[in-house]
Amino acid sequence: MFLRYCIWLFLLVLASAAQAQDAAAPPSRGYTVFLKGTPVGREDVTVRTDASGVSIVSQGRMSVPTSVTTRRAEVKYGPDWTPQSFTLDANVNGGDVTAKSTFTGSVAHTDGVQTGNAYSREHPISAQSVVLLPSSFFGAFEAVSRRLVDAPVGTELKAYVLPQGETSIKLQSSATERIQIGNEVFDVWHFEAIWEVPGTSGIGLSITSTKDGGLVRFSVPSQGLDVVRADVAASTSRTQVYSNPGDEAVTIPVTGFNLGATLTRPPAAAAGARIPVVILLGGSGSNDRDGAAHGVPTMAHLAGAIAKAGYLAVRYDKRGFGQSGGRAESATLTDYAEDVRGVVRWLGDRKDVDTKRIAVAGHGEGAWVALLAAAKERKLAAVVSLAGPGTNGADLVLEQQQRSLEQSTLSPQDRAERVALQKQIHSAVLTGKGWEGVPPNLRKEADTPWMQSFLIFDPAKTIEDVRQPILFVHGALDHQVPPSNAERLVELARTDGKSKSVELVVVRGVNHLLTPAVTGEVSEYSSLDDRSISKDVTDAVNTWLAKTFAAVR
């Protein structure tokens, strides 16, 4: 390939030297930087490969968590991926930041200036370490994606984090996926890795590349960071994380916009038959239709299992994400429930749908949305809650924070300060007052319609109006939303609700992602051996659906 490129370039040189120079210049690729689903920056990356090695050049801007303008960042590698040099010229919160690194033998030497303060540092470095600057040079992960393309699972890359020292990135899994842009589909590699950073238990990384290693997407799920190639981040694009044999791409009109969706058909549906349907809803942080979180496409797996049992399954991108229109920044839980009702109306116009047998199944936050929709939409015949929270949103956040702090090495004083800050944020979100002292980046994340609706939502109030049969399914090892939540929901539904059929299934050995687990802790997600939804979960859902739909006349 390189030889063919050189011959082509040589012919252009004979025709016109200036024209050849323009043609030889590699195009830049634009990337959109998202934080918790909100676009906060852009980076333009140029990668040049020739006989001397690989150079990666970037320029860009980010607004949060700090204001960063990268005028130029460049890292150069030799043909064998030995780092040669790194330069940075940037502005952070109004102050200039520069750095220049050289790599000689086993030593990395960096001289720099940060907001007027000069520094000089040296660190030992491995021969083929990748050079990273995670806060403002995401294009540098192009070196990681290219190195992982042909690497076997278990490969460990050394990673030099400027100007702090060397770490390592260990490849946990790799798989082929497909990305759809409009009607065009192309294959990509998807890598899950652990970044072993001192002082942490390891940070999970998710990296997607083209088949030749070009960076498509870089994510740090635990931090809500997502850096996506601009064309892939567009509303006409979606990643096909998982594809079932009966999948069919559809567009569902709802009030004011369309939802990009997938309809999964049963493998042996009789021609002209009207088929029961299950609408699937992902949890918080899982905005795509496949419900992908930590490498587990929960909704896609569930759709396949439901279709095999003889039902149609519908899953869709949340409003404002993937191929769905609408505005995510102004959406509330009630808005998401209205989207479900829009899907019900769309199904009602289809000749292949048994309109008397439409169920909704939601995971995590999606379980709340399912209950909200069922309370308002009488055309829904059944509700499935998968790992649904049983407390109000504010209490849930504090409980999850408390568990995280218990597993940290923070001092009691630091823990108390973080809890106090969280409570202050809750109060400010709900009252609009008391934001003084809250860091601007935290306020930007929290001061949203969705957060307000989440904090005040109490399933006890909604479940009173749910008349449909309800199934609660929960993993016994769920530490994000412990099984006691399901027990509380069942009690509420049986004592205060209008439903005459309430069932609970607690599945042993299953975590919040509904996958088999050993500990069920969040820290275990990145190292899961089995990233498929548990068959015990899908069997419980399908058995209940068969019984419940049979009772509908």
Query: Are 370 and 505 members of one domain?
Result: yes
- Closest C-alpha among 220, 343, 188, 229 to residue 285: 220
Q: Which domain holds residue 53?
A: 29-233
Residue 243: enclosing H or E segment and its boundaries? none
Query: Are 122 and 159 members of one domain?
Result: yes
Task: Assess if residue 55 is contained within a domain.
Answer: yes
Q: Write down which residue in 183, 203, 233 finishes a domain.
A: 233
Query: Are 380 and 434 members of one domain?
Result: no
Q: What whole-number distance in Å separates Cα of residue 153 and Cα of residue 170?
A: 8
Q: What whole-number distance in Å separates Cα of residue 169 and Cα of residue 159?
A: 7
Query: Are 229 and 182 members of one domain?
Result: yes
* pTM of the model as a whole: 0.66
Task: Assess if residue 8 is contained within a domain.
Answer: no
Q: What whole-number distance in Å separates Cα of residue 220 and Cα of residue 210?
A: 19
Query: Are 227 and 246 members of one domain?
Result: no
Q: Give CA angle at 395 (393, 398), nearest 5°.
A: 110
Phi, psi of 89 (to 5 degrees): -135, 110
Per the CB < 8 A criterion, the answer to whether 516 and 510 are in contact is: yes
| Distance, C-alpha 11 to centroid of its chain | 46
Query: Are 303 and 155 members of one domain?
Result: no
Q: Write down which residue in 233, 253, 272 finishes a domain.
A: 233
Task: Assess if residue 17 is contained within a domain.
Answer: no
Q: What whole-number distance in Å separates Cα of residue 261 and Cα of residue 251?
A: 6
258: which 2 tokens? 């369309």
Query: Are 205 and 75 members of one domain?
Result: yes
Q: What whole-number distance in Å separates Cα of residue 138 and Cα of residue 199?
A: 22
pLDDT tens string 263-320: 999 998 777 889 999 999 999 877 889 988 887 889 999 999 999 999 999 999 999 8
| Distance, C-alpha 172 to centroid of its chain | 17
Q: How many C-beta atoms lie closer than 10 Å to residue 304's C-beta? A: 22
Query: Are 519 and 387 members of one domain?
Result: yes
Residue 168: enclosing H or E segment and its boundaries? strand 165-181
Handedness of CA 341, 374, 513, 247 (dihedral sign): negative
pLDDT beneath 70: ranges in the chain: 1-26, 65, 182-183, 234-242, 553
**Secondary structure class of 335 (helix, strand, coil):** helix
Query: Are 441 and 357 members of one domain?
Result: no
- Closest C-alpha among 364, 246, 249 to residue 311: 246
Per the CB < 8 A criterion, the answer to whether 120 and 98 are in contact is: no
**Looking at the 3D structure of the chain, how many domains does it have?**
3
Q: Write down which residue in 188, 213, 233 finishes a domain.
A: 233
Query: Are 207 and 271 members of one domain?
Result: no
Q: What whole-number distance in Å separates Cα of residue 286 and Cα of residue 259?
A: 15
Query: Are 422 and 542 members of one domain?
Result: no
pLDDT at residue 523, as a whole number: 84
Task: Assess if residue 3 is contained within a domain.
Answer: no
**Secondary structure class of 267 (helix, strand, coil):** coil
Task: Assess if residue 9 is contained within a domain.
Answer: no
Task: Assess if residue 18 is contained within a domain.
Answer: no
Task: Assess if residue 10 is contained within a domain.
Answer: no
Q: Give CA angle at 424 (420, 427), nearest 5°.
A: 140
Per the CB < 8 A criterion, the answer to whether 205 and 217 are in contact is: no
What is the per-residue DSSP string for 438-498?
Answer: S-HHHHHHHSSHHHHHHHH--HHHHHTT--S-EEEEEETT-SSS-THHHHHHHHHHHHT--
pLDDT tens string 84-113: 999 999 988 878 899 999 999 899 999 999
Query: Are 511 and 542 members of one domain?
Result: yes
Q: What whole-number distance in Å separates Cα of residue 380 and Cα of residue 366?
A: 15
Task: Assess if residue 1 is contained within a domain.
Answer: no
